[in-house]
Structure 1
Amino acid sequence: MPSAFGAVAQRTAASGPSPFGPGPCNTQPQAGTLYQASELEPWVDVDPTSAADADGPDLVGVYQQDRYSSGGARGLGTSVSTDGGTTFLPLPADELPRFSQCAGNPLYERASDPWVSIGPDGDAYQIALSFNDTANFDNAVLVSQSPAASDGRQWSDPITLKRDTNPAVFNDKESITADQNDANYVYAVWDRLVFPNERTRGSSPENTAAYRGPTWFSRTTNGGATWEPARPIFDPGQNDQTIGNQIVALGDGDLVNIMTVFSNDNRAGRRGGTIAVLRSPFPSRGSSWSGQIGISRLGTVGVTDPETGAPVRTGDIIPEIASDERAGHDEVYAVWQDARFNGFQRDQIAFSSSTDGGRTWSEPVRISTHNDTQAFTPAIRVDGQGNVGVTYDDFRNNDPATPALETDVWFTRSTDGGRTWGEERVTPTSFDMRTAPVARGYFVGDYEGLGALGTTFYPFSSESRGTTDVFATTVQTPFTSPTYTPSTTEGAQPASAFPVIKGRPIPR
């Protein structure tokens, strides 16, 4: 299959050799298989203050560095670009945020769930889940800040938003959002799983049935100088949880938090997974939140190797959200994995939109183009003209006759709010998913990165090509013309047809 046409350009390796070196850097031996020099689960943001730079805008990308099969990584890597993504500089260990022992934090053996957001003043914020895997189950949500003048090269000592030393409590899947409307406000959100103490017996609570998983929140109102005490903003109830919490700020100042809500009982007929949002209307800026507003049932069936049936770990339970950040706008868009479009046989990319700030949502449609293969791990952003861009992976180029599981990254864009789409290939050649680290399946990340500034999109993806590395791309005008109009009836399924998806405590 030919490479991408026109719009996709400037393919760059954004990660390099491990900054931690080949030798051990933890205080004690670690369990699980170490995938040395693997970089996965990337996220990226673009500095809005650098839009007019002659060499192109500044980007900061983050990722798991040296993944373990049993959860987390030796640390979180950071790569910076000051030329619009033409080149990236991976930071050495002594310049990384101190999220783990290998990066200089003596308290935590591992780090996971990297995320970065850059504010309207150019200050960047990284957030991490830091935890111990062998010594105890201490875990914490940490934030580090980089001043605009350093272009992502200097990071503060981490501030702890929430730390738990009780092995019956675990924080998970945190994200961070700098409010583009006001540089003083930055928001952090995550789920916090709480298990009965008597059920854990000092060991991992992964298999414990009784638990709670509310959404927790913290914010700074003074540009990172201090952070408010973390607090729960939504509790789905006993044996239920949220995951994939992510906040966007709208052009009118409202906040919207997307999440998957798992109900393990059948109250209100909602057993299983639901994609939902919480709203914080302006001028609250997170001080108060609405109740749950449903977008759709979650109909993922997961992803497997089409030849062997081996699991492929993807973003199957992690929704993604993007807002139109232009002043006065309140459009919001969501994507996630869903198999409703083919009788729950294969995951595709579902898309839904809201034109009233997340209060109501359109019926989901399929925006992945090949319904006969599995599509997964979408990312979504809106550019400076209100155009919607989505990246995702699929297996359409897989050849059963080869030893590889050929996988590709695709970019699709809509200029009309999701009614029509035009798609291009991001990967110049397929990568082999079977060479990815194994962590409950072949794994390049529960999510991938996508930035946007002006009319340029910046895909930031992890791919396995012998080693697992992060690659950056630019997608810019002239974009391909719309070639695909999603069906508005293809996904119609009765509620009884949806798979009953249960919560997954501590996926790490």
Structure 2
Amino acid sequence: MHPASSLSRAAVAIPAVAAVLLLTTAPAVANVALTPVSTDPYTDAQAQHQSEVEPDTYAFGNTIVSAFQVGRVSGGGSSNIGWARSGDRGATWTHGFLPGITTNGGGTFGQASDAAVAFDAKHNVWLISSLGISGSTVNVLTSRSTDGGLTWSNPVTTATGANDKNWIVCDNTSTSPFFGNCYTEYDITSAGDSIRMKTSTNGGASWGSALAPGGSHTGLGGQPVVLPNGHVLVPYLSLSDTIRSFRSTNGGASWNSTVLVSSISHHDANGGLREEALPSAEADAAGTVYVSWSDCRFRSGCPSNDVVLAKSTSETTWAAPTRVPIDATTSTVDHFTPGVGVDPATAGSSARIGLTYYYYPTASCTAATCVLDAGFISSTNGGSSWSGATMLAGPMNLSWIPNTSQGRMYGDYISTSVLSGGNAYPVLPVATAPTGSTLHLGMSVPTGGLAVTGGTNTAAVGAAAAAPAVRNGTVRTTAR
């Protein structure tokens, strides 16, 4: 790792509430043991406690950092942003809560939302991007850690206004011409979800001008990934019900027009669950980008979703999506909210992929009868074939997770990080039955991680991949 940046900050890093969590595991509710890594400590009246939702993860070397909402507020956001961190490849974990954002952490915002994690190897800085919410004001914020994710600074203001669904990534390839650049994506809700990008060259201490990609670019959930040559690709969910992407080839000085990744065919989950076909994206060591989302194109009549995976064939072209073979297309299962991870040291036909997702065993359920599970599947050949699926958590009743203005919510997205040569680590919202009005939804990890194994279950490609988009709902125009 490189020395930390010597740039000064107005906010001094302060200790967060943190404690090493013992490796005592929660009772195995499915096929794996889970280790709890965080719970909601707050009691403010605005939120539904105890709840933690919507985790992102990032891994670099032996360190894994996750960030998530803590204390979900029905109308949007949460009581604060929490974090969980392991410095020994997932063996032990510490956790805490970010300072300087909401009033719970000594800040001024009423709520916080949409946490995303990155690491800047050039400046040796971990970054958590989030939204600070006060009424109609929604600012994009960046919290920084210069001690490996153990303590965090008060946030840097990255963008002001009425914004949504931020993501963050850094260029960690030492031979890249833009090594040390970090990129934040967000959309402006007051401008019809018009997408913007900002670049930092000093470890997130300051951010450049807001730039838009060329052409039409309204959408949500643009997830930037950096290629080994320093180019940046940003797949996102467009408001026209397609997955599209755009790129920069000059370190974020400008962003090209968007191109089509794929149409979408999506079944909105039953039971009033909040979920959407937001993409999850990662790149391998050779620069191939993998994008996954939930899609019903392979199931006649669109009764439920599979997880599909599209791979880039160049920086501007994409292969048709393939179906991840979790189960048969005739099954009753509805799969959604995938989080894809790729071993950063692998590529192409040897790429090691871990994919976590949530699902209903029976798609045709109601708010009273739907049960929610989490699963995992993996590939060791770039997604040409897959292992058998593993149930990670569940069953969970929908009444066990917080309610929002857009439905019951465990998160609009989840994440999986695959360690170089090692196991996969998703950080998962896992619920047990409430005690009265008090929820019990906290963050857990599979104890010791999940082995990334190959298998003979073949991914499917069908003519339906070119079918027009159909759905039984609409794309939301806000994700916070």
TM-score range, shorter chain: 0.7 to 0.9
Is 1:345 paired with 2:341? no
In 2: Cα distance, 1:354 partner to 1:485 partner: 19
Deviation at 1:322, TM superposition (A): 0.7
User: Identity of counterpart residues, as a percentage?
Assistant: 25
1:331-364 CA-partner distances (Å, limit 9, x unpaired): 11110111111132212211111132x3211111
Once the two structures are superposed, the pairs formed by residues 244-259 of structure 1 within 5 Å of their partners are 244-259=221-236
Number of matched pairs:
430
CA distance in 1: counterparts of 2:118 and 2:418, whole angstroms: 12
Match of 1:227 among 178, 200, 207: 207
Work out the CA distance in 2 between the residues paired with 1:253 and 1:230. 19
Q: Is the 8 A contact 1:420 1:485 kept in 2?
A: yes
Q: Assess if the C-alpha contact under 8 Å between 1:12 and 1:86 holds in 2.
A: no
Structure 2 unpaired stretches of 5+: 1-27, 434-439
**Structure 1 residues 446, 156: CA separation in 2 closer, same or farther (over 3 Å shift)?**
same
Establish whether residue 280 from structure 1 lines up as the match of residue 248 from structure 2: yes
Which residue does 1:145 correspond to in 2? 144
Q: Letter of the aligned partner of 2:203 in structure 1? A: G
Q: Hey, what's the Cα distance between the residues in 2 that align with 1:381 and 1:492?
A: 23
**1:234–1:462 CA distance, 2 compared to 1 (3 A):** farther
8 Å CA contact 1:244–1:317 kept in 2: the answer is: no
Q: CA deviation at 1:408?
A: 2.2
Give the distance between the partners of 1:101 and 1:449, measured in 2 at CA: 27
- Per-residue deviation, 1:83: 3.0
Which amino acid is the alignment partner of residue 181 of structure 1? Answer: T
CA contact (8 A) 2:353 2:418 kept: no
The TM-score with structure 2 as length reference comes to 0.83
Partners of 1:401 and 1:157 lie apart in 2 by 43
Structure 1 regions of 5+ residues with no counterpart? 25-29, 49-56, 165-169, 195-210, 263-271, 305-309
Instruction: Say if 2:142 and 2:204, in contact at 8 Å, map to a contact too.
Output: no
Tell me the equivalent position of 1:130: 132
Conservation of the 8 A alpha-carbon contact between 1:191 and 1:213: yes
Give distance in 2, aligned partners of 1:221 and 1:302: 40
1:171 maps to 2:163? yes
2:95 matched to which residue of 1?
A: 90
Residue type at the aligned position of 1:249: V
Residues 250 and 504 (structure 1), Cα distance of their counterparts in 2 relative to 1, 3 Å cut: same
Letter in 2 for 1:376: F
| CA pair 229-11 structure 1, distance change in 2 beyond 3 A | same
- How far does the alpha carbon of each residue in 1:356-415 deviate from its partner, in whole angstroms, 9 at most, with x for none? 2x3211111211523321100001111022212211111228998997643322222222
Q: In 2, Cα distance between the equivalents of 1:2 and 1:483?
A: 27
1:70–1:225 distance in 2 versus 1, CA, 3 Å: closer
2:172 to 161, 175, 180: 180
In the superposition, the TM-score normalised over structure 1's length comes to: 0.79
CA contact (8 A) 2:145 2:152 kept: yes
Q: Does 1:260 align with 2:237?
A: yes
1:156: how far off? Answer: 1.9
Q: Is it true that 1:66 corresponds to 2:26 in the alignment?
A: no
Contact 2:125 2:145 in 1 (8 A): yes
Contact 1:300-1:347 within 8 A present in 2 as well: yes
Cα deviation code 1:50-88 (max 9, x no counterpart): xxxxxxx22211110000111110111112223322332
2:386 aligned with 1:418, yes or no? no
* Paired amino acid for 1:422: S
Shift of 1:36: 1.2
Question: How many Å separate the matches in 2 of 1:162 and 1:403?
Answer: 41
Cα offsets for 1:269-292 (capped at 9, x unmatched): xxx3110110212xx121122211
Match runs of 1:47-446 below 5 Å: 47-48=60-61, 57-91=62-96, 93=97, 96-106=98-108, 108-121=109-122, 122-133=124-135, 137-147=136-146, 150-164=147-161, 170-182=162-174, 184-194=180-190, 212-234=192-214, 236=216, 241-262=218-239, 272-281=240-249, 284-304=250-270, 310-314=271-275, 316-324=276-284, 326=285, 329-342=286-299, 343-356=301-314, 358-370=315-327, 371=329, 372=331, 373-383=333-343, 384-385=345-346, 386-396=351-361, 405-427=370-392, 429-439=394-404, 440-446=406-412
Determine the C-alpha separation between the residues in 2 that align with 1:407 and 1:500.
20
- Whether the 8 Å CA contact 2:56–2:427 is kept in 1: the answer is yes
Partner Cα distance (2:324, 2:383) in 1: 9
For 1:379 and 1:60, the matched residues in 2 are separated by 15
- SS of equivalent residue, structure 1 residue 285: coil
What is the deviation of 1:113?
0.4
| Distance in 2 (alpha carbons) for counterparts of 1:216 and 1:401 | 38
The one of 38, 41, 54 aligned to 1:41: 54
Aligned twin of 1:460: 427
Q: Distance in 1 between matches of 2:205 and 2:393?
A: 44
Match of 2:459 in 1: 486
